[in-house]
Amino acid sequence: MKIEKIQHCVKFLVNTILLLSMPASLLAAETNYPQKQITMVVPYGPGGMGDRLARLSSEKLYANFKQPIIVENKPGGNGSIGGRYVVNAKSDGYTLLVGQTGELVVNRLLMKELGYDPMKDLIPVVLMGNAPLAIVAPIDSKFNTLAEFIQMAKKSPGEMSYGSLGQGTPGHLAGAALELGTNIIMVHVPYKGMSNLLPDLLGGRLNLFFSSTSSAMPLIKAGKLKVIGVTTPKRISVLPNVETVSESVLPGFSFTVWGGLFAPKGTPIPVVEKLNQEINAMLAVPETKSQLEADSIAVPANSIREFSEFMQLEANKYESLIKAANIKLE
């Protein structure tokens, strides 16, 4: 107990010294944050999980902040254009990034000319949402479960295919992880967009697609696609009868798409902490949780440290996967 008291006193003393040494004007600005408009940058076009998280947050936070919060879409470069914009912005908490898995931990491993390191040049503020992928197949496929698909793939190496929206996208990496984990060989077919991919999938020219649940559900309900697995460790509420990859073919498999709030390196810690607290409080509201969970987006409360540790684990996972699968941008 004595050691704990001493540590507490030392921490209090250090924090007090830091606060006293801070210019009065800067301290007041941080204490009263925000005092003007906040811009949340989404590095993709409208639609998708990141855009939804940003727009939902901007609406809910306005009630507490009493300042305008606008969402600005800056698509391009697999999310790197928007990321670079925020990295180069003033570190005052008024320009923030709502980023996802790809632009935070994947691009740095695949893009030589990225120009910045998201793991070093951005501060993780709070994890805002975590969502599974649904593994879907043409409705008339000869297999009805993931286990049956794996058996067919092992009997016919290189004959089964899966589509994605490009090299290094979540669907591509999820497929590569499934290949490595189950020792099968599939043909990866990248597409420029869903308008090109969907006809091939519905027509049976593709065997699998790793889709967001929100995009897949209308086609599943309409009887145009079948779902044979989800990529989270536990089953999801909107597809309670669908097995996870972990329970059906590959124990321990976990592959999700997540989104979070980030600030430029150097943003004052009191500002980052306030944003973390406000976003966590917003996500804990039952109405907000139900809105997101309807699309299978989990909203776990998390501290700055917990989000930072989560990001590091994700970075390590993707680094190992990309090396093992020898994935490169074409």
Same domain, 90 and 34: yes
Vertex 107 angle, CA 306 and 115, to 5°: 105
Q: Are residues 156 and 195 in the same domain?
A: yes
Q: Is residue 316 part of a domain?
A: yes
Percent of the chain whose predicted confidence (pLDDT) is above 90: 75
Per the structure, the count of domains in the chain is: 2
Does residue 32 share a domain with residue 123?
yes
Q: Are 271 and 263 in contact (CB under 8 A)?
A: yes
> Domain check: are 290 and 319 in the same one?
yes
Residue 191, strand partner residues: none
| Mean pLDDT, residues 116-121 | 95
Same structural domain for residues 157 and 202?
A: yes
In a domain, 308, yes or no: yes
Dump pLDDT digits (tens) for 33-59: 999 999 999 999 888 889 999 999 999
Q: Are residues 270 and 298 in the same domain?
A: yes
pLDDT of residue 63: 87
Task: Determine if the peptide bond prior to 270 is cis (ω within 30°).
Answer: no
Q: For 330, which DSSP code? A: -
Of 198, 216, 248, the residue that ends a domain is 248
Domain co-membership, 288 together with 195: no
Which of 215, 230, 248 lies at the terminal end of a domain, its last residue? 248
Alpha carbon separation from 110 to 62, 103, 105, 167 (Å, rounded): 37, 10, 10, 9
Residue 211 pLDDT: 93
Summarised one tens digit per residue, pLDDT across range 233-273 is 999 989 999 999 999 999 999 999 999 999 999 999 999 99
The mean pLDDT value for 194-207 works out to 95
The pLDDT value given to residue 68: 95
- Average pLDDT on 64-81 reads 93
The per-residue pLDDT for 77 is 87
Residues 175 and 203 in one domain: yes
Average confidence (pLDDT) over 100-111: 93
Closest listed residue to residue 260, CA positions, set 140, 120, 97: 97
103 and 216 share one domain: no
Alpha-carbon distance 306 to 188, whole Å? 34
| pLDDT(26) > 60 | no
Q: Residues 114, 199: one domain?
A: no
Helix axes 269-284 and 286-293, enclosed angle (nearest 10):
80
User: Quick check: is 330 in a domain?
Assistant: no
- Find the CATH number of the domain harbouring 260: 3.40.190.150
Burial (CB count <10 Å: 0-12, 13-18, 19+), residue 325 = middle
Residue 223 lies in a domain: yes
CATH code where residue 183 lies: 3.40.190.10
Domain contains 184: yes
Q: How confident is the model at residue 107 (pLDDT cuts 50, 70, 90)?
A: very high
How long, in residues, is the chain?
330
36-61 exposure pattern, b = at least 16 Cβ within 10 A, e = fewer: eebbbbbbbeeebbbbbbbbbbbebb
Q: Is 220 found in the same domain as 176?
A: yes
Between 315 and 6, residue with greater pLDDT = 315
Question: Residue 278: its pLDDT value, please?
Answer: 96
pLDDT band at 157 (very low <50, low <70, confident <90, very high): very high
Are 220 and 138 contained in the same domain?
Answer: yes
Domain-embedded: residue 173: yes
Domain termination residue (choose one: 230, 248, 266): 248
| Domain extent for 178 | 132-248
